[in-house]
Amino acid sequence: MATITALLFDFGGTLDGPAHWLDRFLSSYRAAGIEISRAELDPAFEHATRIGYGATRIVARFGMTDLVRFLVGHQFEYLRKSGPDPLVAILGNSGAAGRHRFVERVTDSFVRETSAGLAHSRGVIGTLEGRFKMGVVSNFYGNLDGILAEAKLDRFFDAVADSSRVGIFKPEAGIFEAALEKMHCAPESTAMIGDSLAKDCAPAHRLGMRTVWLRTGPRCGDDACGRDTAADITIRSIDEVAQIQW
């Protein structure tokens, strides 16, 4: 078995904190005083994500706060028209100024949590510097380089494969291959670390990489039981990456 000399990391739910963005948005909505279920927020989340992926020219210049504000604004527009009736009424009655205040509250809550997660990861990644080549592979909006620079993480990474820049989205193999090519690393000497079995571990495993699943809670949907064979190692915290004996 080849020695691991390179590490690829997912971004959302991995480097920026141990939770899917939908769940973190849900917590931020509730912190802002908006009661909504995960199932009710999910279509608004997907709607805003699709818009973000299609707006790379606009989003490319955004830092984290502007990105989150952009996404939350589009979530609110969806919810104002197609959300649960009580929330449609609240958003309709609050007017543009009231909706703006809600957007800012959700944005502030989400960004605070993200900033804390990235600061924690910076400490972990720093302990790996010099031991491995490192890169990031993420379904993102075209501004991941800037987000990493803003978080003072950019200097650690030899490659950043942002799906909106590469034009390939996980779980397609090409986005992983783009990062490997930029790092000049073979799959068998590389490990992929991410919070999704379906989008991170399974495609990396098929390419011959070693895989590390950051499992932070029960999974459903694409990460349901039966895909666990895609992960060579399961961890509960990103801190454990530094402790893995390859």
Residue 238: CB atoms within 10 A of its CB come to 23
DSSP string covering 2-58, please? PPP-EEEE-IIIIIS-SS-HHHHHHHHHHHTT----HHHHHHHHHHHHHHHHT-HHH
Res. 1 pLDDT band, cuts 50 70 90: confident
Question: pLDDT tens digit string along 176-234?
Answer: 999 999 999 999 999 999 999 999 999 999 999 999 999 987 654 555 544 557 999 99
- pLDDT value for 225: 47
State the average pLDDT over residues 46-68: 97
Question: Is the pTM value of this prediction over 0.75?
Answer: yes
Distance CA 20, CA 38 (A): 12
Residue 184's contacts (CB-CB under 8 Å, 6 or more residues apart) are none
Closest CA to 147 of 73, 49, 68: 68
Res. 92 pLDDT band, cuts 50 70 90: confident
Q: What is the DSSP letter of 197?
A: I
pLDDT, the chain, mean: 94
Q: Residue 95 belongs to what H/E stretch?
A: helix 85-128
Q: Give the CA radius of gyration of the chain.
A: 18
Question: pLDDT tens digit string along 157-183?
Answer: 999 999 999 999 999 999 999 999 999
Q: Which residue has the tokens 């399974």?
A: 202
- pLDDT value for 218: 60
84-93's contacts with Cβ under 8 Å and 24+ in sequence apart are 84/36, 84/40, 87/34, 87/36, 87/40, 90/34
State the average pLDDT over residues 48-58: 97
Higher-pLDDT residue of 227 and 151 is: 151
Best mean pLDDT range from 96-100, 111-115, 220-224: 111-115
